[in-house]
Amino acid sequence: MLNNFEQYLVKEKRYSEHTCLAYVKDIQQFFDFSEINPESLADIREVNAPMVRTWAVSLLKAKISNKTVNRKLSSNRSFYKFLMTRACVDVNPFAAVTGPKMPKRLPEFVQKKEIAIEKMDALFSDDDFGFRDKMIFETLYQTGIRLSELIHLKESDVSQRHIRVLGKRNKERDIAISDELYQDLLQIIASKKRLSCNHEFVFYTDSQKKMYPKFVYRKINYYLSQVTGMNQKSPHIMRHTFATHLLNEGVAIEVLKEILGHANLAATQVYTHNSFEQINSIYKSAHPRGHNN
């Protein structure tokens, strides 16, 4: 049954390989803990809510984060939902179990002054690889795309007005870019020809291969370490920074939702908590006693 579920995730839900593997791993972990044979429908039907709670408590005692525990419960909940739609089970034992509360954590972002153009330009070398590093940084900051979207950006996805990215669940969206960014991306593509890169993707590694997540993470972590003391220095921080800076400049949250490729507005609203700069500016300009006389 687990193999059937995996095929369902791949072919019908069109989840990425990484996501599918995570689902299967979470489900297998529960079965191993509960000594359940995933190929035995009789065993699968024996699972009940107390068994699920016992597993969840064991994860928490093992110092597994609330976020991870909730993800594991969600994976198994989806598996049993799949089984119910195919009349393999009558109840979903995971539906009766509420996961641990999630602490509210606001997205971190880099201050504008920390990544000012003149500050960042001094960090990159003058060769092709230095320019590539600069454009990795700038593309993330100027478009807010995800790490996977950057890695899979193809030459054919770049046009004068926008780039086309393939987001979660294979949903395409177009993101507007400036003329300067467009010209810079053309330079990257031209450098590929000089370096004899034999692939269709815009960005490349030092060995002229397609980029991979750890490569980008190391680059962003290194350059952010030169300008900020914040704890998180990942490519996703650039996405948070993009979103927060746009909101601070007055971009409507509905517009930002479309740019970021969020499925619902709730995912975008988390950035509004970081937009005190905008709120403070509006207050000072609008309230009779908000500004200095």
**% helix, strand, coil for the chain, step of 5:** 60, 5, 35
Q: Which domains does the chain have, with CATH numbers?
A: 2-96 (1.10.150), 112-283 (1.10.443.10)
Question: Do residues 121 and 227 make contact, with C-beta atoms less than 8 angstroms apart?
Answer: no
CA atoms of 148 and 165, how far apart (whole Å): 9
Mean pLDDT of the chain: 90
Residue numbers annotated as active site:
146, 168, 236, 239, 262, 271
Helix (H), strand (E) at residue 172? strand 172-176
* Residue spans of alpha helices (H) in 144-252: 147-151, 179-194, 213-225, 235-248
Beta bridge partners of residue 176, listed in sequence order: 162
List, for residues 225-256, the tens digit of each pLDDT value. 999 998 889 999 999 999 999 988 889 999 99
First to last CA, the chain: 72
DSSP state of 122: T
Q: What percent of the chain has pLDDT over 90?
A: 71
CA atoms of 33 and 83, how far apart (whole Å): 20
Residue type, 141: Y
Greatest Cα pair distance, the chain, in angstroms, is: 77
Question: Is the pLDDT confidence value at 141 over 90?
Answer: yes
* Of the listed ranges 37-41, 180-184, 202-206, 218-222, the one predicted with least confidence: 37-41
Question: Is the pLDDT confidence value at 277 over 60?
Answer: no
Of 228, 197, 206, 20, the residue nearest 129 (C-alpha): 206
Helices 66-85, 49-61: crossing angle, 10 deg rounding: 160
Angle at alpha carbon of residue 215, lines to 209 and 219, rounded to 5°:
125
CA atoms of 50 and 114, how far apart (whole Å): 51
Alpha-carbon separation of residue 46 from 26, 126, 176 (angstroms): 18, 64, 53
List, for residues 54-97, the tens digit of each pLDDT value. 999 999 999 999 999 999 999 999 999 999 999 999 999 999 99
Q: Which residue is associated with the tokens 């220095």?
A: 233
Predicted confidence at residue 291, as pLDDT, reads 57
CA atoms of 100 and 95, how far apart (whole Å): 14
